[in-house]
Amino acid sequence: MPHPQVDAVATRADAGVDQAVTQLCEYLAIPAISCEAEHADDVRALAAKVAEDLSAIGLHHARVLDLPNALPIVAADWLQAGDDKPTVLIYGHLDLQPVAGEVWRTDPHVGTVVDDRLYARGSADDMGGWVSHMVALAAWLAETGELPCNVRLVIEGEEEIGSPNLERFMDAYPDAFEADAMVLTDCENPSTEVPGLTVSLRGLLEVELTARALSSDVHSGLWGGMVPDVSTALVLLIGRLLDEDGRLKVGRVQVDEARRRSGHDVPLTDDVIREGAHLVDGVQPLPRRERSAAEWMWWQPAMTVVATTLPTRDVKKNALRQEATAVLSVRLAPEQKAEDMMAALRDVLLVDPPGGVEVQVEAKGWAGEGWLYTPKGPAFAAADRAYEKAWGHKLVQVGVGGSIPFVALFGRRFGDLPLILNGVMDPLTTAHGPNESMHLGIFRKAVAANVHLLDELAALGKVGIRA
Ligand SMILES: [Zn+2]
């Protein structure tokens, strides 16, 4: 049964959206860039300010959690809804990606509204995400003096550097993370009209591919045509891994019917891809060939050549070189094991090498497996009802093409709880890039969805939410 005042709460929350955007801009003005040591004090200053503001809206125990050699986490709670009500943990992060070297149309640390979007570093990733929860919580407390269920809030200060200390915080402050369901807000919606529920991440595997032929460089005028050119061999080897469209053809996986179907529901049109990925005029997105764009981007492996030791224009000489290396960044399908992909790559690369060159294939650098989650049970039906009310659309299952360490960590530690992953980003957000922005219509709908989500989850009860 919905809370008798839920509609009044939603109305109050909606009326608070403009004020919330102003408050959001105050946060965005603090350059809380976690990867730049000179901004560590900004991260701390923002954390202190946020803790104060959470206290001011009526949350309890608003505090800054610290650990040695770590940037802080802000935590707060409200636990007076009763033992029969579930405890919902809301996660977000307050730290920012850097802006150095980027060209922005507006000041990246001044929230600027242009048309329907708020531009600033962190507007959507992830300040708008957790602020949308703050507005909903404030409206509940102001309208009814209470929350419909117990709530904990955790706002991290190191997400943009890969959450290196989050697990230490979980160990040091286990109470701050104790919950029956988790709402993690740092993800994307497939459009401004369709809300997304993130269910997968791709893994990442870095592979070094080396072709070696000579024990010293030799003159190409003397030996060219009679001994192998390793640069060419390297290119031929890379070509073996690709299909006619230039996509990785090794290690493809079978995607289950439910995800295949929801992939086709995601409105990733050519226009969205063209604009979101900054394709130059005349270049088309890769053909879909019976698969959805969603499947290619989230649920199949992909490969990018991210570095080579091929000569550059500045240091070219007419020589056959001893060896050449390429670093291949392989995005793994969510359920794929890194060792299986390595074996599949080796099968193709080590057999019968071009020109008989010596080939080495090694896993080097960063590697992390993906994450695949099956949302089921009453918490997700409840989330669908909340989003239906706020967006007029159920949550559509989406994936993330990259890796988000905190999600994998929550999945590992709390994977038996309902994990509801959403956020306020959309394909035009350009998180981590210049001119990051949040769509204000999404922000407004996120606030409403958060009001209803707490109510719907509360109605399930502490036992029912995990059923
Ligand atoms: Zn983020």
10-residue mean pLDDT profile of the chain (467 residues): values are: 93 98 98 97 98 98 98 98 97 96 96 97 98 98 98 97 95 97 94 94 94 96 96 98 97 91 88 90 95 95 96 90 97 94 97 97 84 92 97 92 87 92 94 96 98 98 91
Residues with C-beta atoms within 5 A of ion ligand 1: 125-126, 186
Q: Say what the alpha-carbon torsion angle 442, 24, 144, 453 is, to the nearest 10 degrees.
A: 30
DSSP H or E run through 119: strand 117-119
* Residue 400 CA to ligand 1 centre (angstroms): 12
Which residues, including other chains, have CB under 8 Å from residue 247's CB and lie 6 or more apart? 286, 296, 302
How far is it, in rounded angstroms, from Cα 129 to Cα 198?
14
* Residue 159 CA to ligand 1 centre (angstroms): 6
Q: What is the pLDDT of residue 467?
A: 75
How far is it, in rounded angstroms, from Cα 230 to Cα 310?
9
What backbone phi and psi angles, to 5 degrees, belong to 210? -125, 135
Other Cβ atoms less than 10 A from the Cβ of 52: the count is 12
* Residue 160 CA to ligand 1 centre (angstroms): 6
* Residue 172 CA to ligand 1 centre (angstroms): 23
* Residue 409 CA to ligand 1 centre (angstroms): 15
Which residues, including other chains, have CB under 8 Å from residue 8's CB and lie 6 or more apart? 143
How far is it, in rounded angstroms, from Cα 297 to Cα 280?
19
How far is it, in rounded angstroms, from Cα 373 to Cα 259?
11
What backbone phi and psi angles, to 5 degrees, belong to 112? -130, 125
Q: What is the pLDDT of residue 137?
A: 98
SS3 90: strand
Beta carbons of 46 and 96 less than 8 angstroms apart: no
Q: What is the 3-state secondary structure (H, E, C) of 411-455?
A: HHHHCCCCEEEECCECCCCCCCCCCCEEEHHHHHHHHHHHHHHHH
* Residue 192 CA to ligand 1 centre (angstroms): 18
What backbone phi and psi angles, to 5 degrees, belong to 74? -95, 135
Beta carbons of 196 and 205 less than 8 angstroms apart: no
Q: What is the pLDDT of residue 402?
A: 84
Q: Is the dihedral of CA 60, 179, 158, 198 positive or negative?
A: negative
Q: Say what the alpha-carbon torsion angle 176, 182, 187, 192 is, to the nearest 10 degrees.
A: -130
Q: Say what the alpha-carbon torsion angle 217, 222, 227, 232 is, to the nearest 10 degrees.
A: 70
How far is it, in rounded angstroms, from Cα 252 to Cα 256?
13
* Residue 274 CA to ligand 1 centre (angstroms): 23
* Residue 188 CA to ligand 1 centre (angstroms): 10
Q: What is the pLDDT of residue 276?
A: 83
**Quick one: 6-200+370-464 is in which CATH superfamily?**
Zn peptidases (3.40.630.10)
Residue spans in the chain of domains classed CATH 3.30.70.360: 203-254+298-367
Q: What is the pLDDT of residue 267?
A: 86
Domain 203-254+298-367 sits in CATH 2.160.10.10: no
Q: Say what the alpha-carbon torsion angle 105, 106, 107, 111 is, to the nearest 10 degrees.
A: -140
* Residue 218 CA to ligand 1 centre (angstroms): 49
Give long-range contacts, CB 8 A cutoff, 24+ apart: 292-295: 292/260, 292/263, 292/264, 292/266, 292/268, 293/263, 293/266, 293/268, 294/190, 294/262, 294/263, 294/264, 294/266, 294/268, 294/398, 294/399, 295/255, 295/259, 295/260, 295/263
Q: What is the pLDDT of residue 148?
A: 98
How far is it, in rounded angstroms, from Cα 157 to Cα 43?
7
Residue spans in the chain of domains classed CATH 3.40.630.10: 6-200+370-464
How far is it, in rounded angstroms, from Cα 121 to Cα 268?
24
What backbone phi and psi angles, to 5 degrees, belong to 184? -105, 120
* Residue 103 CA to ligand 1 centre (angstroms): 20
* Residue 343 CA to ligand 1 centre (angstroms): 33
SS3 410: helix
Using alpha carbons, select from 51, 70, 71, 69 the residue that is nearest to residue 61: 51
